[in-house]
């Protein structure tokens, strides 16, 4: 093995761009490992771990870019470096005009003073400062960054509430504001349903389903996973809810979250009772009866939340896109090739939903993000028994882009599951929309076909597509690619999980 490297001093690219390029170049023949990243402590550790650290890196700072490639021989390694450079150069061009882009929020603001929203996806340790600056300048904040402390979150949201400005996050991946999809979001028509959500893919699934059922939204406001914790006290949830209550365009409100902290629940219910509009609540894993006892409409799952909201929005009854009978029929004509289920999810909330719906049926499920009643996987890189995995979780995304952007690891894992005789049914989500990979179905099918060829196995496969026909990906084409590969395709996670349940029951 030979290691080649190239250092570009004072050259900054965002981490996603670098990881994607590294991931793409790694696929080239003869290349063993790539590290393309800023010289941060984290990347230095990675380099050392991979035995790729060079003494030339000693004098570098986090403002310097490292391209390091390990390959079979020098020619290949050098070619890899050249390829990375080529891709970096073309990235700079596409973003360029004759003028250099601004390098700070302040500069950007002086060039676009009418900006009213700042989307922040910089490293967590800098995110709060940028968010504060945005709020002080009267701008709403979409805080995609994670690794923001809860103390910082409290400070930001207190500031945001005092100025009636949104602080969506931290770790907020999805929002649709005034019809504009932000970060990972689907193209959803406008209508009269407002959504407040502490979950990214949950918001994507609900809004996409609303669209497919013919409904539309006013706002889809992400509040970040910790908003309804005791410390934060639901500050953004309350601000958003009050605004939707007063918004003449909003007729129905959906609230999506993990069950809020007890201390917050009281205030929240009191506030919601003053709203004066119909509210559908889905506290994931909570007892629907407790919610109904408060006088609200409780949803049983994400699909149900969308259906109930559409019902209230139009006064007409909506049905699931696939009925239970239809799902049963597909299950009846399907056969698991082994004892166990494997779930390879890119969306965390969808992974949770699958665990929740299947746990009563199949007993022992393990996950890297187990819900109550499910077990922790002893080794997240090796599935045993029934296993439902969130590939977007931290342990899989260190140094790699999220699976919704870069399918490489999920595709690799798919190969592994297909080769496992114990994996009789493999389910996975295909999340469309802005921010997501443009051909996730194609990437997964390529891996599936390779897996089948290599192992000679053909486990039963099912996928759900979270998206709409207006999304940048071609929904119909994505569906066809999956179906042509012999994968059973479902419109929602709930439908796919229901299919899985029927198959597992038949397999007992």
Partner 1 sequence: MLIDIQQANANAIAAIQASQPVLKGIGTALEVVPGMKKNLILHAGPPITWEKMSGPLRGAVIGALIYEGLAKTPEEAEKLAATDKIEYSPWHEHDGVGPMAGVGTATMPVWILEDQKSGRKTFCTLNEGLGKVLRYGAYSEEVITRLKWMETVLAPVLKAAIPLAPEINLKNMIAQALQMGDEVHNRNKAATSLLIRELAPAIVKTSFPEADKARVLEFMHSNDHFFLNLSMPAAKMMLQAAEWIEGSTIVTTMCRNGTEFGIRIAGLKDRWFTGQAQIVKGLLFPGFSEEDCNPDIGDSAITETCGLGGFSMAAAPAIVKFVGGTVNDAMNFTRKMYEITDGESQAFQIPNMEFRGSPLGINLLKVCEKNLLPQINTGIAHKKAGVGQVGAGLVNPPLKCFEDALEAYVEKYCKDE
Partner 2 sequence: MLKDFFGKKVKVINLGIASFAEDLRKQGVETIHTDWRPPAGGNKKIQALLDRVASWQSKVKSAKGAR
Structure tokens at 211: 């669209």
d(CA 5, CA 43): 14
Indicate whether 63 belongs to the interface with partner 1 (CB under 8 A): yes
Q: Whose Cβ is closer to partner 2: residue 22's or residue 459's?
A: 22
Angle at 237 between CA 235 and CA 243, to 5 degrees: 105
For tokens 């063993």, the residue is 32
Interaction pattern, residues 43-72, with partner 2; x per rule: CB under 8 A: ------------------xxx---------
Strands 65-71, 278-283: parallel, antiparallel or unpaired by DSSP? unpaired
Among positions 28, 50, 82, 119, the unique one binding partner 2 when judged by CB under 8 A: 119
- The nearer residue to partner 2, 459 or 467, going by C-beta atoms, is 467
Assess contact for 234 and 261: CB atoms under 8 A: no
Give yes or no for residue 375 binding partner 2 (CB under 8 A): no
What are the φ/ψ torsions at residue 145 (nearest 5 degrees)? -55, 145
CA 214 – CA 462 distance, rounded (Å)? 25
Residue among 194, 205, 255 nearest 227 (CA): 255
The verdict on 100 binding partner 1 (CB under 8 A) reads yes
- Measured torsion, CA atoms of residues 49, 345, 186, 206, in degrees rounded to the nearest 10: -140
Least gap, CB of 44 to partner 1 (angstroms): 19
| Nearest residue (CB) to partner 1, 101 versus 179 | 101
Beta strands in 380-432 (DSSP E): 386-390, 423-431
Closest CA to 480 of 430, 419, 436, 434: 430
Number of amino acids touching partner 2 (CB under 8 A): 66
Residues that contact partner 1, how many (by CB under 8 A):
5
The nearest distance, CB 287 to partner 2, in angstroms, is 32
CB of 12 to partner 1, least distance (A): 10
d(CA 176, CA 162): 23
Considering only the stretches 97-105, 337-345, 367-375, 455-463, report the one whose residues sit in contact with partner 1 under the rule CB under 8 A: 97-105
Q: In whole angstroms, how far apart are CA 34 and each of 24, 65, 80, 83, 117? A: 9, 13, 9, 12, 36
Q: Which does 91 bind (CB under 5 to 8 A by kind): partner 2, partner 1, none?
A: partner 2
103 lies in the site for partner 1, by CB under 8 A:
yes
136 binds partner 1 (CB under 8 A): no
Binding site for partner 1 (CB under 8 A): 63, 100, 103-104, 107
Binding site for partner 2 (CB under 8 A): 12, 14-17, 61-63, 91, 94-95, 100-105, 107-109, 111-112, 114-123, 126, 129-130, 133-134, 136, 139-140, 144-145, 164-166, 177-183, 218-219, 239-240, 242-244, 246-247, 249, 405, 434-435, 472
């Amino acid at each position: 093995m030979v290691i080649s490297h190239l250092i570009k001093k004072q050259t900054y690219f965002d981490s996603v761009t670098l990881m994607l390029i590294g991931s793409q170049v790694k696929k080239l023949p003869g290349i063993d490992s790539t590290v393309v990243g800023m010289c941060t402590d984290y990347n230095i550790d990675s380099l050392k771990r991979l035995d790729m650290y060079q003494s030339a890196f000693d004098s570098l700072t986090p403002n310097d870019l490292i391209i390091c490639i390990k390959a079979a021989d020098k020619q290949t390694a050098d070619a890899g470096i050249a390829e990375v450079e080529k891709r970096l150069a073309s990235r700079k061009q596409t973003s360029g005009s004759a003028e250099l882009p601004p390098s700070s929020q302040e500069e950007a603001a002086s060039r676009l003073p009418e900006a009213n929203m700042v989307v922040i996806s910089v490293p967590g340790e800098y995110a709060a400062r940028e968010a504060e600056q945005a709020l002080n300048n009267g701008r709403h904040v979409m805080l995609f960054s994670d690794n923001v402390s809860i103390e910082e979150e409290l400070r930001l949201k207190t500031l945001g509430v005092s100025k009636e400005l949104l602080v969506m996050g931290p770790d907020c991946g999805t929002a649709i504001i005034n019809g504009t999809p932000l970060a990972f979001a689907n193209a959803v028509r406008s209508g009269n349903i407002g959504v407040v959500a502490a979950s990214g893919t949950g918001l994507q699934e609900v809004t996409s389903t609303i669209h497919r059922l013919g409904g539309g939204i006013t706002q889809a406001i992400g509040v970040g996973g910790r908003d309804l914790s005791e410390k934060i006290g639901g500050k953004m949830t309350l601000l958003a809810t009050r605004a939707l209550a007063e918004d003449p365009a909003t007729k129905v409100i959906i609230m999506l979250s993990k069950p809020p902290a007890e201390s917050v629940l009281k205030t929240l219910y009191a506030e919601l009772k003053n709203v004066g509009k119909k509210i559908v609540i889905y506290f994931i894993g909570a007892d629907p009866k407790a919610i109904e006892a408060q006088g609200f409409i409780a949803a049983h799952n994400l699909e149900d939340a969308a259906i109930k909201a559409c019902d209230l929005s139009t006064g007409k009854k909506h049905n699931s896109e696939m009925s239970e009978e239809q799902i049963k029929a597909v299950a009846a004509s399907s056969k698991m090739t082994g004892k166990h289920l494997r779930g390879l999810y890119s969306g965390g909330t969808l992974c949770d939903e699958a665990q929740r719906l299947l746990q009563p049926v199949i007993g022992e499920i393990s996950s890297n993000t187990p819900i109550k009643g499910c077990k922790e996987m002893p080794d997240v890189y090796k599935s045993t028994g029934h296993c439902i995995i969130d590939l977007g979780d931290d342990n899989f995304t260190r140094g790699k882009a999220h699976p919704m952007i870069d399918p490489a690891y999920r595709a690799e894992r798919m190969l592994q599951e297909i080769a496992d005789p114990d994996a009789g049914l493999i389910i996975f989500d295909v999340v469309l929309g802005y921010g997501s990979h443009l051909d996730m179905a194609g990437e997964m099918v390529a891996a599936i076909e390779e897996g089948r060829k290599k192992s000679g196995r053909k486990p039963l496969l099912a996928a759900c597509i979270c998206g709409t026909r207006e999304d940048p990906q071609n929904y119909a084409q994505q569906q066809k690619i999956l179906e042509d590969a012999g994968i059973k395709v479902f419109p929602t996670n709930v439908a796919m999980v229901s299919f899985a349940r029927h198959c597992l029951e038949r397999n007992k």
